[in-house]
Amino acid sequence: MDRETRKYWQAQRKQMLARDRRQRRYFGQDMMVTKILIALMIVAFIVERFVPGVIALATSGPGGIVLTLLISALSPGSFIGLLFAGFFLWIIGSQIEGLTQWWQYLIIFFGSGIVGGLATSLIGAGLTGGTFASFGLAGAYVAVMASRRVGGAAQWAILLLAINVVLSGFQAATLAGMLAAFFAGLLIARAMKV
């Protein structure tokens, strides 16, 4: 981290610790929401790969479209997608979790994952959104750091995004999902004044 980012985190330490104490009342320990989301993504990946009929059966009933959108926000699509989404969740999601209430964090995660999945499906690639949810968290991170005038941290998040864009192979559907989720996360974070 650069000096400006380190200075920011030192100045915000007391506030973050107080927020963490409040969140522990809900979940019992640090980064619990992030850990639960990573575990749910792993479960979604395993179910998607080994028993895909379960997802089709679950989403065909009443409320199927809502369940489909929620599952798409958790489904990483591939093993590489699972690794990158888990990495983003662990690194960036834990920072967002420390700056928000648990429900705000979940709104950013699922909202951006759904928007990214819908953008991809509009191009015709299906509703895979777990990796897109992590891009939404990166967008929220950039919004938070920009509002606090911490340029180094925002630049770091944008660099990680650029690496993922290059690794995606510049596929139109994937890029559309990444961009839509990133800007959705950014806008949701700003709208909630995180």
- Distances in Å between the alpha carbon of 171 and those of 36, 48, 113, 175? 30, 22, 18, 6
Q: What's residue 106's pLDDT? A: 93
- The closest of 43, 18, 156 to 91, measured between CA atoms, is 156
Q: What's residue 151's pLDDT? A: 62
Q: What is the pLDDT of residues 102-155, one digit of tens each?
A: 899 999 999 998 898 888 878 776 656 567 888 898 889 888 887 777 666 667
* Total domain count, the chain: 1
- Judged by DSSP in three states, 171 sits in coil
Q: What's residue 153's pLDDT? A: 63
Task: Evaluate whether 127 touches 118 at the Cβ level (below 8 Å).
Answer: yes
Name the stretches of the chain with pLDDT < 70: 1, 9, 14, 16-29, 55, 58-59, 125-130, 150-154, 156-158, 160-161, 164-165, 167-170
Residue 75 tokens, joined: 């489904």
Residue 41 tokens, joined: 């993504």
CATH label of the domain that carries residue 10? 1.20.1540
What SS3 string covers 66-96? HHHHHHHHHCCCCHHHHHHHHHHHHHHHHHH
CA dihedral 106, 109, 111, 113 (to 10 degrees): -150
| Residues spanned by the domain of 153 | 3-191
pTM: 0.76
Helices 102-123 & 64-74 angle (0-180, nearest 10): 100
